[in-house]
């Protein structure tokens, strides 16, 4: 008998089955995945890890596969608006029925084994991709690498993006330690494309220990030197992965492919630029660690706006002070700090406490996103930039507000 539960019902249920929300380790999820035959869910499997740039790399890989005439499934997390965004085929989110059907089959197959929300989501994406007999599966690691649920798969190529400080309580408090966790996706005899420009020694050592074949940005393949809508290093890494997997025809046509993707490919919530009816430019980005904030600060400077206003909502387990420091002394005309709901969410007061004293006189705190967006837009003038960043929830909440949403 078919399960008639809605997707919302299932999402509540899978969030309650396992007693711990985040439970890194592969034994439980690997046993279920192996029993269902999901460890190689497409003809070619690409596994992507890193601190920043994973989502944009997966997006470029998806477009490159489609341009080569391949069918491609893409699994990423988290989502902005709907769970379905996490599981896409040829760029389009799958429907509720595909996901609930996958959840029901996984629930039956797991027996007495408990799975976390993320482990259910991981297995659902693998099951849906396998059912569709796809040419390519592009799979993003959610947290770290070595112990992330997605690392149960047998990849044909791995890719590691930037390595910087984030999730220190889970991954370690140095770049060397974090790189070692990310490098846990490497496999012996399998190419690993690396777009981190200064790879820690632990990453190099892990490649040697595992027998993975490294391809390093700037050494084994070139940087992309053209204007891009998403990070250029993400495009460079995706292009190299596509070359290694045989998706590209040749160097001359490769350059044209890169140029076309650089001009066209965008993602919601990744350096997303929206202009309001009043001519205010709103830049939205889900960056939530110091390295992402520094990248955003460079992007804002390159836009040459006459004024900058900043709206921030962020989780309290992030390096809030380090994130805000990227914009200290950068001439922000106003700051708008908003409570982020939920256990992990930082209050506006907590964010204010971590804002540099020199900036606090220009800061306003808010309990609700609607008030924060209204307040920020009221301070901004035509041509100026309102930067909205700090978490997926912050960006999604801002994009739902009337002053921004009608221009999205």
Domains of the chain, by residue range, sit at: 7-264, 272-405
Query: What is the architecture of the domain spanning 7-264?
Result: 3-Layer(aba) Sandwich (3.40)
pLDDT value at residue 1: 34
395: exposed, middle or buried (Cβ count in 10 Å: 0-12, 13-18, 19+): buried
- The per-residue pLDDT for 2 is 47
CA gap 313, 327 in Å, rounded: 15
Distances (CA, A) of 191 to 13, 45, 291: 38, 12, 26
Q: Is 311 helix (H, G, I), strand (E, B) or coil?
A: strand
DSSP 363: E
* Cis omega (within 30 of 0) for bond into 227: no
- pLDDT reported for residue 374: 97
pLDDT for 343 equals 87
CA distance 321 to 290: 9
Do the two domains 7-264 and 272-405 of this chain adopt the same fold?
Answer: no
Q: Which residues of the chain have pLDDT under 70?
A: 1-4, 19-24, 165-173, 250-252, 406-408
Pairing type for strands 72-75 and 87-89 reads antiparallel
Parallel, antiparallel, or unpaired: how do β-strands 72-75 and 191-194 relate?
Answer: unpaired
Give the pLDDT of residue 254.
85
Please report the pLDDT score of residue 173 as a whole number: 67
Short-list 245, 325, 242, 340, CA closest to 289: 325
Let me know the angle formed at the C-alpha of 397 by 394 and 400, rounded to the nearest 5 degrees. 150
Report pLDDT for 230.
94
CATH number, domain 272-405, options 3.50.80.10, 3.40.630.30, 3.90.190.20, 1.10.390.10: 3.90.190.20
Measured distance CA(392)–CA(398) in Å, rounded: 10
Q: Hey, what are 177's tokens? A: 């330690």
- Number of Cβ within 10 Å of residue 263's Cβ equals 12
Place of tokens 């693998």: 126
Strand order in the sheet with 191-194: 92-93, 87-89, 72-75, 136-140, 44-49, 157-160, 191-194, 213-216
What element of type H or E holds 398? helix 392-399
């Amino acid at each position: 008998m078919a399960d008639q539960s809605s997707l919302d019902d299932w999402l509540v249920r899978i969030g309650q089955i396992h007693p711990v929300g985040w439970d890194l380790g592969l034994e439980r999820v690997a046993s279920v995945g192996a029993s269902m035959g999901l460890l190689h869910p497409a003809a070619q499997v690409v596994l992507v890890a890193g601190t920043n740039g994973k989502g944009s790399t997966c997006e470029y890989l998806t477009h490159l596969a489609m341009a080569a005439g391949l069918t491609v499934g893409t699994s990423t997390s988290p989502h902005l608006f709907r769970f379905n965004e996490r599981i896409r085929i040829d760029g389009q989110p799958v429907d509720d029925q595909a996901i609930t059907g996958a959840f029901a089959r996984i629930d039956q197959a797991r027996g007495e084994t408990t799975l976390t929300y993320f482990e259910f989501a991981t297995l659902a994406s693998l099951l849906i991709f396998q059912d569709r007999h796809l040419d390519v599966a592009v799979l993003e690691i959610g947290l770290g690498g070595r112990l992330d649920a997605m690392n149960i798969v047998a990849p044909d190529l791995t890719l590691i993006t930037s390595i910087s400080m984030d999730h220190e309580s889970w991954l370690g408090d140095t770049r060397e330690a974090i790189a070692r966790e990310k490098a846990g996706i490497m496999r012996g005899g399998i190419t690993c494309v690396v777009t981190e420009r200064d790879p820690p020694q632990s990453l190099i050592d892990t490649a040697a220990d595992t027998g993975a074949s490294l391809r390093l940005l700037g050494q084994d393949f070139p940087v992309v030197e053209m204007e891009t809508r998403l990070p250029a290093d993400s495009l460079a890494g995706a292009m190299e992965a596509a070359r290694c997997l045989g998706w590209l025809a040749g160097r001359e046509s490769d350059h044209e492919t890169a140029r076309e993707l650089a001009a066209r490919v965008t993602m919601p919530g990744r350096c997303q630029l929206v202009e309001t009816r009043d001519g205010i430019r709103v830049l939205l980005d889900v960056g939530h660690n110091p390295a992402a904030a520094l990248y955003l600060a460079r992007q804002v400077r390159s836009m040459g706006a006459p004024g900058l206003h900043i709206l921030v909502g962020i989780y309290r387990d992030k390096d809030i002070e380090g994130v805000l420091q990227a914009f200290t002394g950068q001439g922000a005309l106003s700051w708008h700090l908003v409570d982020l709901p939920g256990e992990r969410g930082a209050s506006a007061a907590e964010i204010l406490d971590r804002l540099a004293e020199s900036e606090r006189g220009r800061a306003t705190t808010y309990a609700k996103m609607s008030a924060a967006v209204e307040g920020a837009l009221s301070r901004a003038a035509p041509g100026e930039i309102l930067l909205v960043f700090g978490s997926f929830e912050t960006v999604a909440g801002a994009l739902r507000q009337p002053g921004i949403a009608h221009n999205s």
